[in-house]
Amino acid sequence: MAASVVTWAGLAAFGRACGSIRSRLLGSSSTLSQVSCLHTSTELNSKHWERKNLVVYPPQQKDELRRPAEIYHCRRQIKYSKDKMWYLAKLIRGMTIDQALTQLEFNDKKGAKIIKEVILEAQDMAVRNHNVEYKSNLYIAESFSGKGKYLKRIRYHGRGMFGIMDKVHCHYFVKLVEGVPPKVEQKTGFDQAKEYVEQLRNRTIIHSL
């Protein structure tokens, strides 16, 4: 949403159209949320990310599997684009914490330095406050970016035209979990083709003689 050349009349019409579309969308989404009220990840739970660290679980019995520690951390209003931040967040998803830190250290983007600071802070918090034993025994379970509050400025064009420039900000969220990262099964093309052929072979005609 960078600067766009706009005429005065057109902008008013655009604003009115946007408002109507937004109200229509809100109406439809509210009905949808009423229907599927359980487990909706609205805005990917970004508003209450800090509160997730305050959840206390009841003590475990001796025969239960040891529950892995989960640490939630975020940084708000980073002066960076959320789309550019997404690339870095996607890069480190599923990596161990040491691997993620190495990758971010040698990445040339501006957001890499910020994400590295956030992850180091989260690691320190984990060891101090959340009873994590080994600081390297963590992996990145969730990592994503969200839109922050934008500031608006005028971008001057020729012939008295102007555009509204957005000064973009983003939030960055990360969830560290104790333990070894789960192995993601890489499906080869050959496996997918085999599955497809099996599906084709399993077709039958129902209600036949």
Partner 1 sequence: MATSICRTLKYLQPTICLNIKPVFVPIRTKKRYFIPPAVNVKQKSQSEQETKARAAGVVVRQQYIERAINISCTAGIFDPYIPPEGDARLSTLSKEGLKQRTEQLRQSAASQLAFRKIKDHDNEFSTKEFPALAQQIFIDAHAALTQFNKEKLHSLVTERCYPEMVRGNRYKTLRWRFIESLEPPRVVHARCPDMISKGNLYGQVTLRVHSRQTLAIYDRFGRLMLGDEDEPRDVLEYLVLERHLVNPYGRWRLHGKIVPAWAPPKDPIIKTVIIPGPTLKPEEAFEDLHYQVPKPKAVQWYK
Sign of CA dihedral 43, 47, 49, 55: negative
Q: Which part of the chain contacts partner 1 (CB under 8 A), choosing from 24-32, 48-56, 182-190, 191-199?
A: 48-56
Q: Which part of the chain contacts partner 1 (CB under 8 A), choosing from 52-60, 80-88, 99-107, 187-195?
A: 52-60
Residue 51 carries which side chain, given as an amino acid letter?
R
Q: Does 180 bind partner 1 (CB under 8 A)?
A: no
Q: Which part of the chain contacts partner 1 (CB under 8 A), choosing from 34-42, 51-59, 77-85, 93-101?
A: 51-59
Binding mask 84-123 for partner 1 (x = CB under 8 A): ----------------------------------------
Q: Does 65 bind partner 1 (CB under 8 A)?
A: no
- In order, the DSSP letters of 113-147 are HHHHHHHHHHHHHHHHHS--S-TTSEEEEEEEEEE
Residues 117-156 that bind partner 1 (CB under 8 A): 130-131, 133-134, 151-154
Strands of the sheet containing 138-147, edge to edge, are 70-78, 170-178, 138-147
Residue pair 77/148 in contact (Cβ under 8 Å)? The answer is yes
Rule CB under 8 A: choose which of 38, 56, 205, 209 binds partner 1. Answer: 56
Rule CB under 8 A: choose which of 93, 109, 164, 169 binds partner 1. Answer: 164
Residue pair 173/101 in contact (Cβ under 8 Å)? The answer is no
User: For residue 125, which of 147, 97, 150 has the smallest C-alpha distance?
Assistant: 97
Comparing CB distances to partner 1, the nearer of 63 and 185 is: 63
Residue pair 122/174 in contact (Cβ under 8 Å)? The answer is yes
Q: Does 55 bind partner 1 (CB under 8 A)?
A: yes
Comparing CB distances to partner 1, the nearer of 1 and 154 is: 154
Q: In the 8-state DSSP scheme, what is residue 204?
A: -
**How many residues line the site for partner 1 (CB under 8 A)?**
28
Extract the tokens encoding 171: 């939030």
Write out the residues near partner 1 by the rule CB under 8 A. Answer: 6, 8-9, 11-12, 15, 54-60, 66-70, 130-131, 133-134, 151-154, 162, 164
